[in-house]
Amino acid sequence: SGLCWATVYSHYKRVVPFLSRPALPALLLPNGLYLFSSNAICRLLECAGSKLPSLSATLSTLQMERRVLVIQDSPASGQNKCFSALMAIMKFYLAHLIVHCLQRADVPKSVQAWFDRVAAIQGCQAAAQKVLQGKGLQGMKNYMQRQPAPQSSQCRDTLSHNSSPTEVADVDSQDYVLTRWSKQNKSQVCVFPISLPQEGKRNILLTSALPYVNNVPHLGNIIGCVLSADVFSRYGRLRGWNLLFICGTDEYGTATENKAREEGLTPQQICDKYHAVHASIYKWFQIDFDFFGRTTTKKQTEIAQDIFWRLHKRDFLVEDTVEQLRCESCQRFLADRFVEGICPFCNYPEARGDQCDKCGRLINAVELREPQCKVCRQTPVIRSSKHLFLDLPKLEGQLDEWLDKSTGSGDWTANAKQITRSWLRDGLKPRCITRDLKWGTPVPHPDFAEKVFYVWFDAPIGYLSITANYTDQWEKWWKNPQQVELYNFMAKDNVPFHSVVFPCSLLGAQDNYTLVNHLVATEYLNYEDTKFSKSRGVGVFGDMAQDTGIPSDVWRFYLLYLRPEGQDSAFSWADMALKNNSELLNNLGNFINRAGMFVSKFFDGCVPVMELQQEDKRLLAQVGWELRQYIQLMDKVKIRDALKHILNISRHGNQYIQVNEPWKNIKGGDSERQRASTVTGLSVNIACLLSVMLQPYMPAVSQTIRKQLNAPESCINTMLQGTGTFVCALTAGHRIGTVSPLFQKLEADQIEALKKRFGGQQPAAAPAPVAVAETAAVNGADPERARQLTQAVAEQGDKVRTLKAQKAEKAVITAEVAMLLDLKKQLALAEGKSPEPTPQKGKKK
């Protein structure tokens, strides 16, 4: 549990201070101490041993090279850093053991004892059995001796040909220096995420908005928060930042209570069930949280109540009586999400009790015109009840001052700044922080014993409490504004709560909290020409993406390519196929595959000697420029824009190969063959660089490329340092692995089938949207549904005509027309026709 950044040094004779001669490997702990003692390491391992699934993978990557042990780490899959760290420690541990076994006839008793203890740890048993075959430590020795002799990664002694470092002129600046390219770097395997800020490092605390537990997230939710944050987190780790990425499910509130009632479960059971659904979706999308927690914990109660009492003591809470909507037939006060009515500002007919989806304004539920209980559709009555309010007007001065600083020095997206400004311009009012509910964090004040905190007060405190569940020392992250930079990722509808309400809670509580430095908000992602809608079954939801057969990396790529950065964007199946086939397959995949194939076919799998000509230097400079752009953009969280520079590097690479034709030159005389060598060597190094730049976007593909190229781990740690350094990671003589194509073509009929399946063929109240969609996808046409829809279209058409005749409000008519068009589209699908393109609806231009 206390293990964190464990760094295993393979070339320890150089790296570990105060060791001048080769000796046993050492383990660097988060606190900067080195462990040499096998016993100490053993204890660490035992603490965490129960989590270690299997040892066999570890053993196969251990290699012996003369008497020096080389510990080769398999790239951390990211999914489970705990596992990777244990692996690394285990390797380290075995390294000790093997040194003992092979160098000495008699094994010291202490080694024997710790070996036996580890072999008995539950997670290690299978591996121990496989290796030892009942022969104890002697079995280990036999096993190691049976392992194939280490294959040198060098092919021949070609390194001496390396040209001496030369200056290369950059196309637009003079600072590109070839020496940087040919510089090799020290190799160290960095494995485990530490949980705590470190002196002298850039300490980044990263959150993505907590998804509400009982909604299955759709692609728009995924790109808006968790996926964007994941890319930035992966990038930050490659940059060498000390980073903690926290998220979890937001579990309290009426919506959960209701869902529980519907499903005949308790609210806790609902949360358990859907927390697992969320966790598995994010796992499939390879979202690499350090910790994915939940808000229904003891820590949440402790921290929320602490903040509450601090606000109370400092007089930032005021009491007031509020009028509330109560549904007499459901016998309860209606939470905002459970009231619907006409927006008092823009007349949108389906405004919720807290916010209008059309004009985005916040609404007081009692101000809704013609309110309805969403559960039973009865008209609620107004009742009064005593509540507590956060005194925002009193905190406005402090807030202003802090906002000036934060938005001035941090990377706030334009929409975040603008939404915040408009909130302040309208003037702050006290905001209610209590609710008449059961499922929530209890208000500790005796006068409000029956109440819980309102989710908008409570939920953001989840960031703190989830961190507290991750480490007892959570305050080192959350009460440390001097050392920690906080990034909040979210979709734009969440902005005011993160830029105004939550900061006011923390400012008022006066406990030296870390406040947001960089508020990163996306715009909306639409689905084809409409909005994602669970009830209408429109769009792809997280749990369905994996059933499409399209790999997680391709989903990630396309969503990031479309990231609504600066403006809304729309998911489209046809565009996805186009991007998959043109960008991934023809551009990126093609370049990387050709570069590798040339090495395999023309040079027996060994990177050839490169003699750089003017043209090659120009390419180097171009690639260096793209890399620097990528880094500048990523540093500013311009994730979509940075991706375009990766694709442009492979475009340059393809052109370079096309012009230089290595497949022809290889058959020519000496100078032509040298040309083929250089072009191939440079291309395969660019492929290696691409694998590193791609890692945040497509982690699995990145790893595949590095495996195919047999690329040293070290390249991953160095290329993205500073302003970006294109290192010649695959030097002449390096042996690459087996090359094979990275991507497959997406066929038109496959896309057409998916589009139909997720196109929204369900009627408004369909109980099982997925099942219906699948039937429709299999049959293409569905006569029964077509009949129902024909009827629905006719009725809706009548409704629209009546409204128009009555000169009803424009917004009302627009909404009904949109519904009509949608029904028509569904009808076309059910009849097996391709639908007419519908005009965009409900969107601000």
Ligand X SMILES: CC(=O)N[C@H]1CO[C@H](CO)[C@@H](O)[C@@H]1O
Indicate the residue among 327 and 577 with the shorter CB distance to ligand X.
Answer: 577
Euclidean distance between CA atoms 233 and 255, whole angstroms: 31
Indicate the residue among 195 and 420 with the shorter CB distance to ligand X.
Answer: 195
Indicate the residue among 124 and 194 with the shorter CB distance to ligand X.
Answer: 194
Are residues 836 and 828 in contact, defined by beta-carbon separation less than 8 angstroms?
Answer: yes
* Part in contact with ligand X (CB under 6 A); list of ranges 322-330, 612-620, 645-653, 672-680: 645-653
The owner of tokens 């039973």 is 376
Per-residue binding letters, 238-257, with ligand X (x by CB under 6 A)? --------------------
Indicate the residue among 247 and 584 with the shorter CB distance to ligand X.
Answer: 584
How many CB atoms within 10 Å of residue 470?
20
Are residues 579 and 645 in contact, defined by beta-carbon separation less than 8 angstroms?
Answer: no
The owner of tokens 């692609």 is 219
Q: Which of 249, 297, 415, 494 binds ligand X (CB under 6 A)?
A: 297
Q: Tell whether residue 487 is a contact of ligand X (CB under 6 A).
A: no
How many CB atoms within 10 Å of residue 780?
14
Indicate the residue among 128 and 468 with the shorter CB distance to ligand X.
Answer: 468
Closest residue (Cβ) to ligand X?
Answer: 746
List b or e across 484-502, with b for residues whose CB sees 16 or more CB atoms inside 10 angstroms: bbbbbbbbbebbbbbbbbb
Q: Helix-strand-coil percent breakdown of the chain, rounded to 5?
A: 50, 15, 35
Indicate the residue among 379 and 548 with the shorter CB distance to ligand X.
Answer: 548
Euclidean distance between CA atoms 310 and 508, whole angstroms: 8
Pairing relationship of beta strands 518-522 and 525-527 according to DSSP bridges = unpaired
Tell me the closest approach of the beta carbon of residue 647 to ligand X, in angstroms.
7
Start-to-end C-alpha separation, the chain? 52
Q: Tell whether residue 304 is a contact of ligand X (CB under 6 A).
A: no
Indicate the residue among 512 and 791 with the shorter CB distance to ligand X.
Answer: 512
Per-residue binding letters, 797-836, with ligand X (x by CB under 6 A)? ----------------------------------------
Taking CA 170 as the corner, what is the angle to CA 636 and CA 721, rounded to the nearest 5 degrees? 40
Per-residue binding letters, 508-527, with ligand X (x by CB under 6 A)? ----x---------------
Q: Tell whether residue 554 is a contact of ligand X (CB under 6 A).
A: yes
Indicate the residue among 651 and 799 with the shorter CB distance to ligand X.
Answer: 651
Tell me the closest approach of the beta carbon of residue 318 to ligand X, in angstroms.
26
The amino acid at residue 52 is L
Are residues 626 and 648 in contact, defined by beta-carbon separation less than 8 angstroms?
Answer: yes
Q: Total residues at the site for ligand X (CB under 6 A)?
A: 21
Per-residue binding letters, 353-372, with ligand X (x by CB under 6 A)? --------------------
Tell me the closest approach of the beta carbon of residue 744 to ligand X, in angstroms.
4
Q: Tell whether residue 482 is a contact of ligand X (CB under 6 A).
A: yes
**What one-character-per-residue DSSP string does 155-206 give?**
-SS-GGGPPPP-B---SS-S--BHHHHH------EE----SS--TTS-EEEE
Q: Tell whether residue 540 is a contact of ligand X (CB under 6 A).
A: no
Per-residue binding letters, 442-481, with ligand X (x by CB under 6 A)? ---------------------------x----------x-
Q: Tell whether residue 546 is a contact of ligand X (CB under 6 A).
A: no
Per-residue binding letters, 721-750, with ligand X (x by CB under 6 A)? ----------------------xx-x----
Alpha-carbon distances, residue 722 vs 162, 180, 182, 726 (angstroms): 25, 12, 16, 11
**What one-character-per-residue DSSP string does 420-475 give?**
HHHHHHT----EE-EES-SSSPBP-SGGGTT-EE-HHHHTTHHHHHHHHHH-TTTH
Indicate the residue among 469 and 494 with the shorter CB distance to ligand X.
Answer: 469
Q: Tell whether residue 80 is a contact of ligand X (CB under 6 A).
A: no
Indicate the residue among 118 and 754 with the shorter CB distance to ligand X.
Answer: 754
Are residues 570 and 564 in contact, defined by beta-carbon separation less than 8 angstroms?
Answer: no
Per-residue binding letters, 6-35, with ligand X (x by CB under 6 A)? ------------------------------
Indicate the residue among 601 and 644 with the shorter CB distance to ligand X.
Answer: 644
Q: Tell whether residue 551 is a contact of ligand X (CB under 6 A).
A: yes
* Part in contact with ligand X (CB under 6 A); list of ranges 78-86, 254-262, 445-453, 572-580: 572-580
Euclidean distance between CA atoms 763 and 265, whole angstroms: 27
The owner of tokens 């960095």 is 190
**What one-character-per-residue DSSP string does 117-157 give?**
HHHHSGGGHHHHHHHHTT-HHHHHHHHHHHSPPPPPSB-SS
Q: Tell whether residue 293 is a contact of ligand X (CB under 6 A).
A: yes
Tell me the closest approach of the beta carbon of residue 645 to ligand X, in angstroms.
5
Contacts of 269 (CB under 8 A, 6+ apart): 260
Euclidean distance between CA atoms 678 and 656, whole angstroms: 11
Tell me the closest approach of the beta carbon of residue 752 to ligand X, in angstroms.
11
Q: Which of 590, 547, 537 is nearest to 744 (CA)?
A: 590
Q: Tell whether residue 294 is a contact of ligand X (CB under 6 A).
A: yes
The owner of tokens 């230089």 is 660
Q: Tell whether residue 703 is a contact of ligand X (CB under 6 A).
A: no
* Part in contact with ligand X (CB under 6 A); list of ranges 289-297, 415-423, 433-441, 784-792: 289-297
Q: Tell whether residue 117 is a contact of ligand X (CB under 6 A).
A: no
Are residues 1 and 51 in contact, defined by beta-carbon separation less than 8 angstroms?
Answer: no
* Part in contact with ligand X (CB under 6 A); list of ranges 33-41, 183-191, 226-234, 573-581: 573-581
Indicate the residue among 248 and 349 with the shorter CB distance to ligand X.
Answer: 248
Contacts of 397 (CB under 8 A, 6+ apart): none
Tell me the closest approach of the beta carbon of residue 291 to ligand X, in angstroms.
8
Indicate the residue among 333 and 758 with the shorter CB distance to ligand X.
Answer: 758
* Part in contact with ligand X (CB under 6 A); list of ranges 166-174, 577-585, 713-721, 786-794: 577-585
Q: Tell whether residue 580 is a contact of ligand X (CB under 6 A).
A: yes
Q: Tell whether residue 160 is a contact of ligand X (CB under 6 A).
A: no
Which tokens hold the place of 805? 């005749």
The amino acid at residue 723 is T
The amino acid at residue 479 is K
Indicate the residue among 227 and 368 with the shorter CB distance to ligand X.
Answer: 227
Tell me the closest approach of the beta carbon of residue 8 to ligand X, in angstroms.
28
Tell me the closest approach of the beta carbon of residue 758 to ligand X, in angstroms.
13
Q: Which of 748, 829, 826, 770 is nearest to 576 (CA)?
A: 748
Are residues 300 and 452 in contact, defined by beta-carbon separation less than 8 angstroms?
Answer: no
Contacts of 476 (CB under 8 A, 6+ apart): 196, 197
Q: Which of 550, 649, 715, 823 binds ligand X (CB under 6 A)?
A: 550
Indicate the residue among 482 and 614 with the shorter CB distance to ligand X.
Answer: 482
Tell me the closest approach of the beta carbon of residue 641 to ligand X, in angstroms.
7
Pairing relationship of beta strands 291-294 and 27-28 according to DSSP bridges = unpaired
Tell me the closest approach of the beta carbon of residue 743 to ligand X, in angstroms.
3
- Torsion over CA of 408, 409, 410 and 412, rounded to 10 degrees? 20
Q: Tell whether residue 410 is a contact of ligand X (CB under 6 A).
A: no
Tell me the closest approach of the beta carbon of residue 633 to ligand X, in angstroms.
9
Q: Tell whether residue 269 is a contact of ligand X (CB under 6 A).
A: no
Q: Tell whether residue 645 is a contact of ligand X (CB under 6 A).
A: yes
Which tokens hold the place of 80? 């489970």
Site residues, ligand X (CB under 6 A) = 293-294, 297, 469, 480, 482, 512, 550-551, 554, 576-577, 580, 584, 644-645, 648, 651, 743-744, 746
